[in-house]
Amino acid sequence: MANVKNKLNRINKCFDLPEGLITGEIFIELMANKQAVLEGKCSVLQYSDTQIKINTGNGTIEFFGANMCLDTLNKEGAMISGTIQKIEFS
Amino acid sequence: MFMLKSFRYITGYVKFSGKGVFPERFLNLCANNNILVWSPKIKYGELSGFMHINDYKRIRKIAKKSCMRLKITKRKGVPFLINRYKRRYGIPIGVALFFFIIVYLSGFCLNITVCGDGVLKTEKLENALAKSGIYIGRDLSEFDADTARQDFLIKNRQYSFAAVNIKGSHISVELVKTNKKRMKKLSKTPCNIIAKNAGKILKVKAYEGRISVKIGEAVAPGDLLVSGVVELTNKTTKFVHSEAEVLALTRHKLEVFAPFKTKQKLKSSEIITRSVFKIANINIPLYLGEVEKPYETKKQVKKYKIGGVELPFKKITAKFSKIKYKKITLNEQSAKAFAKQKMKKLIKNKLKNTIKSSQKGKFRVTKRGVFYSKVYFCEENIAKSKKILK
Protein backbone atom coordinates (compact mmCIF):
# COMPACT_ATOMS: atom_id res chain seq x y z
CA MET A 1 0.00 0.00 0.00
CA ALA A 2 2.83 2.32 0.99
CA ASN A 3 4.57 1.43 -2.23
CA VAL A 4 1.57 2.43 -4.31
CA LYS A 5 1.29 5.71 -2.42
CA ASN A 6 4.93 6.47 -3.07
CA LYS A 7 4.47 5.83 -6.77
CA LEU A 8 1.43 8.07 -6.91
CA ASN A 9 3.36 10.80 -5.10
CA ARG A 10 6.09 10.56 -7.69
CA ILE A 11 3.57 10.99 -10.54
CA ASN A 12 2.17 13.96 -8.66
CA LYS A 13 5.59 15.57 -8.54
CA CYS A 14 6.27 14.79 -12.22
CA PHE A 15 3.21 16.67 -13.38
CA ASP A 16 3.58 19.47 -10.81
CA LEU A 17 0.17 18.73 -9.40
CA PRO A 18 -0.90 19.85 -5.92
CA GLU A 19 0.31 17.60 -3.16
CA GLY A 20 -1.99 14.73 -2.34
CA LEU A 21 -4.38 15.25 -5.26
CA ILE A 22 -4.02 11.74 -6.68
CA THR A 23 -3.45 10.00 -3.36
CA GLY A 24 -6.79 11.27 -2.04
CA GLU A 25 -5.51 13.28 0.88
CA ILE A 26 -7.88 15.63 2.59
CA PHE A 27 -8.14 19.18 1.25
CA ILE A 28 -8.94 21.95 3.74
CA GLU A 29 -10.26 25.33 2.73
CA LEU A 30 -10.52 28.08 5.33
CA MET A 31 -12.65 31.19 5.14
CA ALA A 32 -10.86 33.43 7.62
CA ASN A 33 -11.51 31.83 11.01
CA LYS A 34 -15.25 31.44 10.44
CA GLN A 35 -15.58 28.41 8.25
CA ALA A 36 -13.59 25.37 7.22
CA VAL A 37 -14.48 23.14 4.31
CA LEU A 38 -12.95 19.68 4.28
CA GLU A 39 -12.90 17.76 1.00
CA GLY A 40 -12.17 14.06 1.10
CA LYS A 41 -13.28 11.11 3.12
CA CYS A 42 -13.50 11.98 6.81
CA SER A 43 -15.30 10.96 9.94
CA VAL A 44 -16.01 12.57 13.27
CA LEU A 45 -14.20 11.34 16.33
CA GLN A 46 -15.22 14.01 18.80
CA TYR A 47 -17.83 16.68 18.54
CA SER A 48 -18.65 19.51 20.93
CA ASP A 49 -19.16 23.29 21.05
CA THR A 50 -15.49 23.98 21.51
CA GLN A 51 -13.78 21.11 19.75
CA ILE A 52 -14.30 18.99 16.65
CA LYS A 53 -11.95 16.12 15.95
CA ILE A 54 -11.93 14.73 12.43
CA ASN A 55 -10.34 11.50 11.29
CA THR A 56 -8.90 11.74 7.78
CA GLY A 57 -7.42 8.26 7.46
CA ASN A 58 -3.81 9.50 7.47
CA GLY A 59 -4.23 11.19 10.82
CA THR A 60 -6.54 13.44 12.76
CA ILE A 61 -7.34 17.13 12.56
CA GLU A 62 -8.63 18.97 15.61
CA PHE A 63 -10.47 22.26 15.36
CA PHE A 64 -10.63 24.32 18.54
CA GLY A 65 -12.77 27.41 18.98
CA ALA A 66 -16.14 28.75 20.12
CA ASN A 67 -19.66 28.01 18.88
CA MET A 68 -18.29 25.26 16.68
CA CYS A 69 -20.83 23.51 14.51
CA LEU A 70 -20.61 20.72 12.01
CA ASP A 71 -22.85 22.11 9.28
CA THR A 72 -22.75 19.09 7.02
CA LEU A 73 -21.11 15.75 7.02
CA ASN A 74 -21.25 13.34 4.11
CA LYS A 75 -19.12 10.97 2.03
CA GLU A 76 -17.42 13.79 0.11
CA GLY A 77 -16.45 15.91 3.08
CA ALA A 78 -17.57 18.13 5.91
CA MET A 79 -18.17 21.75 6.66
CA ILE A 80 -17.34 23.30 10.01
CA SER A 81 -18.45 26.75 11.10
CA GLY A 82 -17.88 28.85 14.19
CA THR A 83 -15.00 30.88 15.48
CA ILE A 84 -11.94 28.73 14.82
CA GLN A 85 -9.07 29.55 17.14
CA LYS A 86 -6.68 26.66 16.61
CA ILE A 87 -6.14 23.73 14.22
CA GLU A 88 -4.08 20.80 15.30
CA PHE A 89 -2.79 17.96 13.13
CA SER A 90 -1.72 14.71 14.62
CA MET B 1 -29.67 29.61 1.14
CA PHE B 2 -33.27 30.70 0.54
CA MET B 3 -33.63 28.16 -2.25
CA LEU B 4 -32.22 25.42 -0.06
CA LYS B 5 -34.50 26.36 2.83
CA SER B 6 -37.58 26.47 0.60
CA PHE B 7 -36.65 23.12 -0.98
CA ARG B 8 -36.33 21.58 2.47
CA TYR B 9 -39.66 23.09 3.51
CA ILE B 10 -41.42 21.71 0.41
CA THR B 11 -40.00 18.21 0.85
CA GLY B 12 -40.46 18.27 4.64
CA TYR B 13 -37.96 17.79 7.45
CA VAL B 14 -37.78 16.90 11.12
CA LYS B 15 -35.81 18.12 14.08
CA PHE B 16 -34.64 15.21 16.14
CA SER B 17 -32.83 14.70 19.37
CA GLY B 18 -31.24 11.60 20.74
CA LYS B 19 -29.38 10.27 23.71
CA GLY B 20 -26.87 7.51 23.51
CA VAL B 21 -23.34 6.28 23.83
CA PHE B 22 -21.85 7.17 20.44
CA PRO B 23 -23.38 10.26 18.87
CA GLU B 24 -20.24 10.80 16.74
CA ARG B 25 -20.51 7.28 15.38
CA PHE B 26 -24.12 7.90 14.57
CA LEU B 27 -23.09 10.98 12.49
CA ASN B 28 -20.40 8.99 10.67
CA LEU B 29 -22.77 6.17 9.84
CA CYS B 30 -25.33 8.65 8.55
CA ALA B 31 -22.68 10.21 6.29
CA ASN B 32 -21.65 6.80 4.98
CA ASN B 33 -25.25 5.85 4.23
CA ASN B 34 -25.93 9.07 2.34
CA ILE B 35 -28.21 10.41 5.04
CA LEU B 36 -27.92 14.13 5.30
CA VAL B 37 -27.88 15.55 8.81
CA TRP B 38 -27.58 19.28 8.99
CA SER B 39 -26.75 21.54 11.94
CA PRO B 40 -26.03 18.69 14.32
CA LYS B 41 -25.26 19.75 17.90
CA ILE B 42 -24.08 17.78 20.88
CA LYS B 43 -24.85 19.33 24.23
CA TYR B 44 -24.53 17.48 27.53
CA GLY B 45 -24.31 14.20 25.63
CA GLU B 46 -27.54 14.84 23.76
CA LEU B 47 -27.44 15.02 19.98
CA SER B 48 -29.88 17.20 18.03
CA GLY B 49 -30.12 18.03 14.36
CA PHE B 50 -32.27 18.20 11.26
CA MET B 51 -33.05 15.52 8.72
CA HIS B 52 -35.38 14.90 5.76
CA ILE B 53 -38.47 12.87 6.62
CA ASN B 54 -37.55 10.10 4.20
CA ASP B 55 -34.08 9.83 5.74
CA TYR B 56 -35.51 9.61 9.24
CA LYS B 57 -37.33 6.44 8.26
CA ARG B 58 -33.99 4.88 7.27
CA ILE B 59 -32.00 5.59 10.43
CA ARG B 60 -33.46 2.96 12.69
CA LYS B 61 -30.63 0.48 12.02
CA ILE B 62 -27.98 3.14 12.31
CA ALA B 63 -29.42 4.32 15.62
CA LYS B 64 -29.38 0.76 16.91
CA LYS B 65 -25.79 0.25 15.80
CA SER B 66 -24.64 3.43 17.52
CA CYS B 67 -26.74 2.77 20.62
CA MET B 68 -28.79 5.94 20.18
CA ARG B 69 -32.40 6.54 21.17
CA LEU B 70 -33.90 9.09 18.88
CA LYS B 71 -37.11 11.08 18.98
CA ILE B 72 -38.66 13.75 16.82
CA THR B 73 -38.99 17.13 18.49
CA LYS B 74 -40.35 19.19 15.61
CA ARG B 75 -41.99 18.52 12.25
CA LYS B 76 -41.84 21.12 9.53
CA GLY B 77 -42.75 21.31 5.85
CA VAL B 78 -45.52 20.96 3.31
CA PRO B 79 -46.13 17.17 3.75
CA PHE B 80 -46.96 17.72 7.43
CA LEU B 81 -49.15 20.69 6.56
CA ILE B 82 -51.10 18.59 4.03
CA ASN B 83 -51.39 15.80 6.56
CA ARG B 84 -52.75 18.20 9.17
CA TYR B 85 -55.45 19.54 6.86
CA LYS B 86 -56.20 16.36 4.89
CA ARG B 87 -59.67 16.02 6.41
CA ARG B 88 -60.63 19.58 5.54
CA TYR B 89 -61.97 18.93 2.06
CA GLY B 90 -62.94 22.55 1.58
CA ILE B 91 -59.34 23.75 1.36
CA PRO B 92 -58.18 21.55 -1.57
CA ILE B 93 -61.53 22.07 -3.28
CA GLY B 94 -61.20 25.83 -2.82
CA VAL B 95 -57.63 25.85 -4.13
CA ALA B 96 -58.63 23.73 -7.14
CA LEU B 97 -61.64 25.96 -7.76
CA PHE B 98 -59.47 29.07 -7.54
CA PHE B 99 -57.08 27.81 -10.20
CA PHE B 100 -59.94 26.53 -12.33
CA ILE B 101 -61.68 29.93 -12.22
CA ILE B 102 -58.44 31.74 -13.02
CA VAL B 103 -57.75 29.48 -16.00
CA TYR B 104 -61.39 29.45 -17.14
CA LEU B 105 -61.94 33.21 -16.91
CA SER B 106 -58.71 33.98 -18.73
CA GLY B 107 -60.39 32.58 -21.83
CA PHE B 108 -62.96 35.40 -21.81
CA CYS B 109 -62.76 39.10 -22.49
CA LEU B 110 -62.81 40.85 -19.11
CA ASN B 111 -62.08 44.41 -20.10
CA ILE B 112 -62.36 46.67 -23.13
CA THR B 113 -60.56 49.96 -23.55
CA VAL B 114 -61.31 52.37 -26.35
CA CYS B 115 -58.84 55.01 -27.41
CA GLY B 116 -58.54 57.48 -30.25
CA ASP B 117 -58.75 61.23 -30.89
CA GLY B 118 -62.02 62.50 -29.45
CA VAL B 119 -63.49 58.99 -29.21
CA LEU B 120 -65.31 58.35 -25.96
CA LYS B 121 -66.51 55.02 -24.62
CA THR B 122 -70.20 55.78 -24.53
CA GLU B 123 -73.13 53.40 -24.29
CA LYS B 124 -73.80 53.92 -28.00
CA LEU B 125 -70.25 52.96 -28.93
CA GLU B 126 -70.36 49.99 -26.56
CA ASN B 127 -73.50 48.75 -28.34
CA ALA B 128 -71.88 49.26 -31.75
CA LEU B 129 -68.84 47.26 -30.62
CA ALA B 130 -71.08 44.56 -29.18
CA LYS B 131 -72.83 44.20 -32.55
CA SER B 132 -69.43 43.45 -34.08
CA GLY B 133 -68.68 40.87 -31.37
CA ILE B 134 -66.53 43.01 -29.08
CA TYR B 135 -68.11 42.84 -25.67
CA ILE B 136 -67.20 41.93 -22.10
CA GLY B 137 -67.63 38.22 -21.54
CA ARG B 138 -66.82 37.24 -25.13
CA ASP B 139 -65.19 33.82 -25.52
CA LEU B 140 -61.73 34.68 -26.83
CA SER B 141 -61.04 31.20 -28.20
CA GLU B 142 -63.55 31.88 -30.99
CA PHE B 143 -62.75 35.56 -31.34
CA ASP B 144 -61.11 36.78 -34.53
CA ALA B 145 -59.88 40.33 -34.06
CA ASP B 146 -59.49 41.01 -37.78
CA THR B 147 -63.04 39.94 -38.65
CA ALA B 148 -64.45 41.98 -35.77
CA ARG B 149 -62.49 45.02 -36.90
CA GLN B 150 -63.71 44.75 -40.51
CA ASP B 151 -67.27 44.15 -39.38
CA PHE B 152 -67.15 47.21 -37.14
CA LEU B 153 -65.82 49.43 -39.94
CA ILE B 154 -68.50 48.26 -42.38
CA LYS B 155 -71.29 48.88 -39.89
CA ASN B 156 -69.95 52.20 -38.63
CA ARG B 157 -69.03 54.50 -41.49
CA GLN B 158 -68.20 57.37 -39.14
CA TYR B 159 -64.93 55.61 -38.29
CA SER B 160 -62.24 55.40 -40.94
CA PHE B 161 -59.77 53.29 -38.99
CA ALA B 162 -60.06 50.66 -36.31
CA ALA B 163 -57.52 48.39 -34.64
CA VAL B 164 -58.50 45.57 -32.34
CA ASN B 165 -55.78 44.08 -30.15
CA ILE B 166 -56.03 41.27 -27.64
CA LYS B 167 -53.71 41.28 -24.64
CA GLY B 168 -54.56 38.30 -22.46
CA SER B 169 -58.17 38.81 -21.49
CA HIS B 170 -58.14 42.49 -22.37
CA ILE B 171 -59.29 43.94 -25.70
CA SER B 172 -58.07 47.36 -26.71
CA VAL B 173 -59.82 49.13 -29.57
CA GLU B 174 -58.24 52.09 -31.31
CA LEU B 175 -60.54 54.21 -33.46
CA VAL B 176 -60.13 57.16 -35.82
CA LYS B 177 -63.15 59.18 -36.86
CA THR B 178 -63.85 59.84 -40.54
CA ASN B 179 -63.31 63.36 -41.77
CA LYS B 180 -66.72 65.03 -42.44
CA LYS B 181 -65.61 66.29 -45.86
CA ARG B 182 -64.59 62.78 -46.79
CA MET B 183 -67.96 61.49 -45.58
CA LYS B 184 -69.68 63.88 -47.96
CA LYS B 185 -67.46 62.73 -50.81
CA LEU B 186 -68.37 59.15 -50.06
CA SER B 187 -72.09 59.88 -50.48
CA LYS B 188 -71.92 61.55 -53.85
CA THR B 189 -74.91 60.02 -55.52
CA PRO B 190 -76.69 62.29 -58.07
CA CYS B 191 -79.65 64.02 -56.47
CA ASN B 192 -82.03 66.99 -56.72
CA ILE B 193 -83.01 69.40 -54.00
CA ILE B 194 -86.76 69.64 -53.47
CA ALA B 195 -88.93 71.69 -51.12
CA LYS B 196 -89.72 70.11 -47.76
CA ASN B 197 -92.52 72.60 -46.97
CA ALA B 198 -94.53 75.18 -48.89
CA GLY B 199 -93.22 78.72 -48.62
CA LYS B 200 -91.79 81.86 -50.15
CA ILE B 201 -88.15 81.68 -51.17
CA LEU B 202 -85.93 84.18 -49.35
CA LYS B 203 -82.43 83.03 -50.08
CA VAL B 204 -80.79 80.27 -52.14
CA LYS B 205 -77.24 79.17 -51.50
CA ALA B 206 -76.33 76.39 -53.93
CA TYR B 207 -73.00 74.61 -53.49
CA GLU B 208 -73.57 72.23 -56.37
CA GLY B 209 -76.32 71.86 -58.97
CA ARG B 210 -78.49 74.22 -61.05
CA ILE B 211 -80.86 76.61 -59.23
CA SER B 212 -84.44 76.22 -60.53
CA VAL B 213 -86.27 78.82 -58.38
CA LYS B 214 -86.09 82.57 -58.00
CA ILE B 215 -86.11 84.65 -54.83
CA GLY B 216 -89.65 85.71 -53.92
CA GLU B 217 -91.17 82.74 -55.73
CA ALA B 218 -93.72 80.57 -53.92
CA VAL B 219 -93.12 76.85 -53.79
CA ALA B 220 -95.24 73.88 -52.85
CA PRO B 221 -93.94 70.80 -51.01
CA GLY B 222 -91.99 68.59 -53.42
CA ASP B 223 -91.22 71.36 -55.93
CA LEU B 224 -87.77 71.25 -57.50
CA LEU B 225 -85.44 73.86 -56.02
CA VAL B 226 -81.98 72.86 -57.22
CA SER B 227 -81.55 70.41 -60.08
CA GLY B 228 -78.90 67.73 -60.12
CA VAL B 229 -78.94 67.59 -63.92
CA VAL B 230 -76.47 70.14 -65.25
CA GLU B 231 -76.13 71.02 -68.94
CA LEU B 232 -72.58 71.56 -70.05
CA THR B 233 -71.42 73.97 -72.81
CA ASN B 234 -70.96 71.14 -75.30
CA LYS B 235 -74.71 70.37 -74.86
CA THR B 236 -74.13 67.24 -72.89
CA THR B 237 -75.69 66.63 -69.47
CA LYS B 238 -74.03 65.71 -66.24
CA PHE B 239 -75.58 64.34 -63.08
CA VAL B 240 -74.31 65.90 -59.88
CA HIS B 241 -74.93 65.56 -56.18
CA SER B 242 -76.79 68.82 -55.49
CA GLU B 243 -76.11 70.60 -52.28
CA ALA B 244 -77.91 73.76 -51.27
CA GLU B 245 -79.36 75.80 -48.45
CA VAL B 246 -82.76 77.25 -49.36
CA LEU B 247 -84.16 79.70 -46.86
CA ALA B 248 -87.91 80.26 -47.15
CA LEU B 249 -90.72 81.95 -45.26
CA THR B 250 -93.13 79.21 -44.26
CA ARG B 251 -96.51 79.14 -42.54
CA HIS B 252 -97.35 76.52 -39.93
CA LYS B 253 -100.75 76.08 -38.36
CA LEU B 254 -100.47 74.08 -35.17
CA GLU B 255 -103.39 72.78 -33.19
CA VAL B 256 -103.51 71.04 -29.82
CA PHE B 257 -106.35 69.55 -27.84
CA ALA B 258 -106.79 69.65 -24.07
CA PRO B 259 -109.60 67.36 -22.85
CA PHE B 260 -111.67 68.24 -19.78
CA LYS B 261 -111.43 64.74 -18.44
CA THR B 262 -107.82 63.68 -18.26
CA LYS B 263 -105.39 61.59 -16.30
CA GLN B 264 -102.75 63.22 -14.20
CA LYS B 265 -99.45 61.49 -13.58
CA LEU B 266 -98.46 61.50 -9.92
CA LYS B 267 -95.07 60.38 -8.68
CA SER B 268 -95.04 58.83 -5.24
CA SER B 269 -92.38 59.96 -2.79
CA GLU B 270 -91.52 56.35 -2.02
CA ILE B 271 -88.39 55.27 -3.89
CA ILE B 272 -87.47 51.61 -4.18
CA THR B 273 -83.83 50.82 -4.83
CA ARG B 274 -82.83 47.63 -6.55
CA SER B 275 -79.26 46.58 -7.34
CA VAL B 276 -77.82 44.11 -9.75
CA PHE B 277 -74.26 42.85 -9.77
CA LYS B 278 -73.09 42.31 -13.32
CA ILE B 279 -70.17 39.98 -14.03
CA ALA B 280 -69.38 39.91 -17.76
CA ASN B 281 -72.85 39.27 -19.20
CA ILE B 282 -74.33 37.61 -16.16
CA ASN B 283 -76.66 39.63 -13.97
CA ILE B 284 -76.81 38.64 -10.32
CA PRO B 285 -79.79 40.28 -8.62
CA LEU B 286 -79.15 41.53 -5.11
CA TYR B 287 -82.84 41.63 -4.23
CA LEU B 288 -85.93 39.52 -3.92
CA GLY B 289 -89.33 40.14 -5.45
CA GLU B 290 -90.53 42.50 -8.15
CA VAL B 291 -91.48 46.14 -8.37
CA GLU B 292 -95.09 46.68 -9.35
CA LYS B 293 -95.76 48.54 -12.56
CA PRO B 294 -96.10 51.38 -13.57
CA TYR B 295 -92.92 53.08 -12.46
CA GLU B 296 -90.18 55.42 -13.57
CA THR B 297 -86.55 54.35 -13.28
CA LYS B 298 -83.20 56.03 -12.93
CA LYS B 299 -80.14 53.90 -13.45
CA GLN B 300 -76.73 54.33 -11.89
CA VAL B 301 -73.74 52.25 -12.88
CA LYS B 302 -70.81 51.86 -10.52
CA LYS B 303 -67.68 50.58 -12.17
CA TYR B 304 -64.76 49.21 -10.19
CA LYS B 305 -61.16 49.97 -11.09
CA ILE B 306 -57.76 48.89 -9.87
CA GLY B 307 -54.81 50.99 -11.00
CA GLY B 308 -56.88 52.54 -13.79
CA VAL B 309 -57.90 49.15 -15.17
CA GLU B 310 -61.60 48.52 -15.26
CA LEU B 311 -62.64 45.29 -13.60
CA PRO B 312 -65.07 42.96 -15.36
CA PHE B 313 -67.86 43.54 -12.91
CA LYS B 314 -70.09 46.47 -12.09
CA LYS B 315 -72.96 47.30 -9.80
CA ILE B 316 -76.10 48.67 -11.41
CA THR B 317 -78.47 50.44 -9.07
CA ALA B 318 -81.94 51.35 -10.27
CA LYS B 319 -84.21 53.72 -8.39
CA PHE B 320 -87.88 53.01 -8.99
CA SER B 321 -90.42 55.67 -8.22
CA LYS B 322 -93.99 54.48 -8.47
CA ILE B 323 -96.41 56.32 -10.70
CA LYS B 324 -100.10 56.75 -10.10
CA TYR B 325 -102.60 58.08 -12.60
CA LYS B 326 -105.33 60.20 -11.13
CA LYS B 327 -108.46 61.04 -13.07
CA ILE B 328 -109.13 64.77 -12.96
CA THR B 329 -111.72 67.05 -14.51
CA LEU B 330 -110.48 70.41 -15.71
CA ASN B 331 -112.56 73.56 -15.97
CA GLU B 332 -112.39 75.69 -19.12
CA GLN B 333 -109.73 78.02 -17.80
CA SER B 334 -107.36 75.31 -16.65
CA ALA B 335 -107.97 73.37 -19.88
CA LYS B 336 -106.92 76.45 -21.84
CA ALA B 337 -103.77 76.78 -19.74
CA PHE B 338 -103.05 73.10 -20.28
CA ALA B 339 -103.51 73.54 -24.05
CA LYS B 340 -101.05 76.45 -24.05
CA GLN B 341 -98.52 74.26 -22.24
CA LYS B 342 -99.01 71.53 -24.81
CA MET B 343 -98.50 74.05 -27.63
CA LYS B 344 -95.19 75.19 -26.09
CA LYS B 345 -93.96 71.62 -26.04
CA LEU B 346 -95.05 71.10 -29.65
CA ILE B 347 -93.22 74.23 -30.83
CA LYS B 348 -90.07 73.10 -29.06
CA ASN B 349 -90.18 69.81 -30.90
CA LYS B 350 -91.33 70.97 -34.33
CA LEU B 351 -90.22 74.54 -35.01
CA LYS B 352 -87.37 75.15 -32.57
CA ASN B 353 -85.71 78.52 -33.28
CA THR B 354 -87.18 79.26 -36.70
CA ILE B 355 -90.23 81.32 -35.65
CA LYS B 356 -90.24 84.89 -36.95
CA SER B 357 -93.79 85.94 -36.10
CA SER B 358 -97.13 84.49 -35.08
CA GLN B 359 -100.81 85.26 -35.14
CA LYS B 360 -102.93 85.37 -32.02
CA GLY B 361 -103.98 81.90 -30.88
CA LYS B 362 -107.62 80.82 -31.12
CA PHE B 363 -109.53 78.66 -28.62
CA ARG B 364 -112.41 76.47 -29.70
CA VAL B 365 -114.40 74.99 -26.83
CA THR B 366 -116.27 71.74 -27.41
CA LYS B 367 -118.07 69.30 -25.12
CA ARG B 368 -114.97 67.12 -24.75
CA GLY B 369 -112.37 69.81 -24.31
CA VAL B 370 -110.59 72.83 -25.69
CA PHE B 371 -108.86 73.08 -29.09
CA TYR B 372 -106.08 75.65 -29.32
CA SER B 373 -104.72 76.65 -32.71
CA LYS B 374 -102.07 79.16 -33.67
CA VAL B 375 -100.37 80.19 -36.91
CA TYR B 376 -96.60 80.66 -36.99
CA PHE B 377 -94.46 82.24 -39.71
CA CYS B 378 -90.99 80.80 -39.82
CA GLU B 379 -87.73 81.24 -41.68
CA GLU B 380 -86.30 77.81 -42.29
CA ASN B 381 -84.22 75.75 -44.62
CA ILE B 382 -86.66 73.81 -46.80
CA ALA B 383 -84.04 71.97 -48.85
CA LYS B 384 -84.43 68.21 -48.98
CA SER B 385 -82.33 65.97 -51.22
CA LYS B 386 -83.98 63.39 -53.47
CA LYS B 387 -82.11 60.85 -55.54
CA ILE B 388 -82.41 61.22 -59.29
CA LEU B 389 -81.75 57.59 -60.10
CA LYS B 390 -83.37 54.98 -57.90
**What are the CB-based long-range contacts (under 8 Å, 24+) for B140-148?**
B140/B107, B140/B108, B140/B109, B140/B166, B140/B169, B141/B107, B143/B109, B145/B171
- CB contacts of B27 in chain A (<8 Å) are 44, 47, 70, 73
Containing structural domain, residue A46:
26-89
Cα separation values, B261 from B33, B264, B334, B354, B366, Å: 107, 10, 11, 34, 12
Is residue A42 a contact partner of residue A55, using CB atoms and an 8 Å limit?
yes
Answer yes or no: is A37 within a domain: yes
Q: Do A48 and B42 touch (CB under 8 A)?
A: yes
Answer yes or no: is A42 within a domain: yes
Cα separation values, B389 from B189, B193, B227, B239, B240, Å: 9, 13, 13, 10, 11
Answer yes or no: is A84 within a domain: yes
Q: Do B40 and A74 touch (CB under 8 A)?
A: no
Nearest CB to A69; choose among B24, B28, B41: B41
Size of interface A-B (CB pairs under 8 A): 38
Question: Count of domains in chain A?
Answer: 1
In this structure, are strands B111-115 and B170-177 parallel, antiparallel, or unpaired? parallel
Answer yes or no: is A4 within a domain: no
Answer yes or no: is A21 within a domain: no
CATH number for position A80 = 2.60.40.2000
**Helices marked H in B38-194:** 53-58, 60-65, 78-84, 90-105, 123-131, 145-155, 180-186
Among A47, A71, A73, the residue to mutate for chain B (most B Cβ within 10 A): A73
- The 3-class secondary structure across B352-366, one letter per residue, is CCCEEEECCCEEEEC
Checking if the pLDDT of A22 tops 70, the result is no
Give the C-alpha separation, B112 to B127, whole Å.
12
CA B305 to chain centroid: 14
pLDDT by 10s per residue, chain B, length 390: 789 999 999 999 999 999 988 888 999 999 988 898 888 888 887 889 999 988 888 888 888 888 889 999 999 999 998 888 888 889 889 999 999 988 888 888 888 888 887 777 777 888 889 999 998 888 888 889 999 999 998 888 888 889 999 988 889 999 988 877 666 666 678 889 999 989 999 999 888 888 999 999 999 999 999 998 888 888 888 888 888 899 999 998 889 998 988 888 888 888 889 999 988 778 899 988 888 788 888 889 898 888 777 777 889 999 988 888 888 888 888 889 988 988 888 888 888 778 888 888 889 988 888 999 999 899 999 998 888 876
Answer yes or no: is A2 within a domain: no
- Provide the ipTM: 0.80
Mean pLDDT of A3-11: 76
Question: Which tens digits make up the pLDDT trace of B201-219?
Answer: 999 988 888 899 999 999 9
Query: Cα-atom radius of gyration of chain B, to the nearest Å?
Result: 42
Is residue A84 a contact partner of residue A65, using CB atoms and an 8 Å limit?
yes
Answer yes or no: is A17 within a domain: no
Instruction: Please tell me which residue of chain B has the smallest CA distance to A72.
Output: B38
Checking if the pLDDT of A7 tops 90, the result is no
